[in-house]
Amino acid sequence: MDELTLMRDFRAERVRPDPTARTLARRALEARIEAAPPAAFPVDEAPRRAPAPRRAPRHRRRLFAFAAATALAALLAGILVFGSGPTAQPAGAAEVLRRTAAIAAAEPGPGLFPGPHQLLYEKTAQAELQEWVPGRYTASYGGFLSTDPARAWGGRVSYTQEAWMSNKRRGRDRLVLGGISFLSAAERRRWKAAGSPLPGLFSGASGHAPEERVLEVGRGVHDVEVLDGPGYGQFGKLPTAPAALRRAIEARRRGKVDEGQVIGELWEILDKANTSPALRAAAFNALAEEPGIGLDRDAKDLVGRSGYALSYVGRGSSGDAPAGVRTEYIFDPATAAILGKRETLVDPGRRPWTKGIPAGTVLRDVAYLDQGIVDSIHRRPGEAGTS
C-alpha cells in the first residue's frame, strides 16, 4: 500500500448518505428546522464533560525543546509576517505559507516516530453536526437513512477523542461526549421529551466490533482497545520538493484532481505528528502554489487559540472539497504548529442534504490538543510508567 493511501486511511470514517438518504434528509430537515437563526442549547444532563484546557496544549513539544529554534521562530514571525514598520503591507497567503515553510524546515528532530513497541498518542477536541436514529444509525452533516424522520434527531455533537496508534501492536480509541446543541428550540424540546437519546457510540447501548476489547462503554463514553491498532502511516519516501509532492498526490488519484483535493491531501500530511520537518516544509510550499486560498489573520480554533486560517470554498463533489462548504485550516505562523480544521456551510443550495440548514452553520470543527510517544495504551505523554 502506498504512503498516501496510508495517510488517507488514517482519517476518521464518515458515513456518506446515498441519494435516497439525501432526499430523506432534505425533507426531514425542511419539516423540522425553524426559520429562526440557529442557537445553541447545552445538554441539561451532560455526561462527563472533558475539562477545558488551562493553557495551550503541547501540540509539537519538540518545537520548544530548543531555545534557539524558538527564538528564530519568534524573530521570523515578528519581522517577516507582520512587517517592520507602520507602512509595511500585510503578506498574502502565498508569502505567509513560504515563510511558515521556512520555520517548519528549521524544526529540530525528524518528527515523532515511535519505536516498534511504542505508540503515537493524539488528543483532539471535536464538534460535528450529526443526525442519529437511536439504536440504528448515526451520520455526519445531517444525512440519515431512516424512513421515519420522527425517530431521527439532529444536533451539534461535541466530544474529545484520544487515540493510541501503532503500526505494530494494539491501539486504543477513547471518546468522551461533552454536550449537544441544536439548530432550533423545537428540536431540543422534541429531543428532551423523548428522553434525550444520545447518538451512536455515546448511547452506551451500541455494540463494538469483534476485534475490539471494551475498556469502558456507557452513556457518553466509548473506550475500546483495538486489537489491530490503527496505524499512523509512514511518509519517509514522499518527495520533499513541492512540485514533486503535488505530482505524487495527482498520481495517487489517477485522474483529474482539483485544487481542493490537493489542498486537503497536503493538510493531511501537515497534521500528522510523524511528518518530518522537510516534508512539512514541502507541504507548506506546495500550498503556496495552490490558487483560490484565502487567509484570515484573526482566526481562532475550537478551543479559542489564536492563529492564521487558510480557507478554500469547495466547488466539486469530492469529500475533500465539497461544493458549498468552506474549509479552514488553522495554524500558528510563529511555530508552524497545526491547530485545527473547520468546515462551514456557505451555500446550502449546493448540497441537497443540507437544504434547510442555515448558511454559516459549522458542520465540523477539530482542534489538535496534544501529541506524543508513549509506551502503553494506558499512558499519556508526560505520565510515568511503561507497558
Tens digits of residue pLDDT in 24-33: 333 333 433 3
Q: How many residues make up the chain in this entry?
A: 387
**If pLDDT is split at 50, 70 and 90, which confidence band does 233 have?**
low
* Angle between the N-to-C axes of helices 277-288 and 242-253, in degrees from 0 to 180, rounded to the nearest 10: 80
Quote the cell numbers at residue 340: 485545527
Residue 125 covered by a domain:
yes
Residue 349 covered by a domain:
no
* One-letter amino acid for residue 303 of the chain: V
70-84, 157-171, 358-372: range with lowest mean pLDDT: 70-84
Residue 326 covered by a domain:
no
Residue 198 covered by a domain:
yes
Q: SS3 for 56?
A: coil
Residue 246 covered by a domain:
no
What is the Cα 214 distance to its own chain's centre? 25
Burial class (CB in 10 A: 0-12, 13-18, 19+), 250: middle
Residue 292 covered by a domain:
no
pLDDT of residue 111: 67
Query: Which domain, by its residues, includes 14?
Result: 3-53+120-226
CA-wise closest residue to 164 among 119, 225, 212? 119
**Sign of the dihedral defined by the CA atoms of residues 142, 148, 150, 152, in that order:** negative
What is the Cα 296 distance to its own chain's centre? 18
**Residue 153 predicted with pLDDT over 80:** yes
Burial class (CB in 10 A: 0-12, 13-18, 19+), 197: middle
Q: SS3 for 282?
A: helix
Residue 221 covered by a domain:
yes
Domains in the chain, number: 1
316 and 330 in contact (C-beta within 8 Å)? no
15-19, 146-150, 154-158, 159-163: range with lowest mean pLDDT: 15-19
**If pLDDT is split at 50, 70 and 90, which confidence band does 112 have?**
confident
**If pLDDT is split at 50, 70 and 90, which confidence band does 154 have?**
confident
**Residue 37 predicted with pLDDT over 90:** no
Question: What residues are paired with 361 via a beta bridge?
Answer: none
Mean pLDDT comparison of 8-22, 36-50, 349-363, highest-scoring range: 349-363
pLDDT of residue 76: 36
164 and 372 in contact (C-beta within 8 Å)? no
Question: What residues are paired with 387 via a beta bridge?
Answer: none
C-alpha–C-alpha distance, residues 365 and 260, integer Å: 18
Express each pLDDT in 261-274 by its tens digit.
888 889 988 988 88
This prediction's pTM: 0.74
Express each pLDDT in 185-231 by its tens digit.
998 999 999 999 999 889 987 666 677 889 999 999 999 998 765 56
Residue 126 covered by a domain:
yes
C-alpha–C-alpha distance, residues 281 and 290, integer Å: 15
For residue 79, the 8-state DSSP code is I
Q: What is the mean pLDDT of the chain?
A: 74
C-alpha–C-alpha distance, residues 208 and 38, integer Å: 34
pLDDT of residue 99: 96
| E strand spans, the chain | 119-133, 137-140, 153-165, 171-181, 212-218, 221-226, 294-300, 306-313, 325-331, 338-345, 362-374
**β-pair type (153-165, 171-181):** antiparallel
How many Å is the maximal CA-CA distance in the chain? Answer: 64
C-alpha–C-alpha distance, residues 63 and 185, integer Å: 45
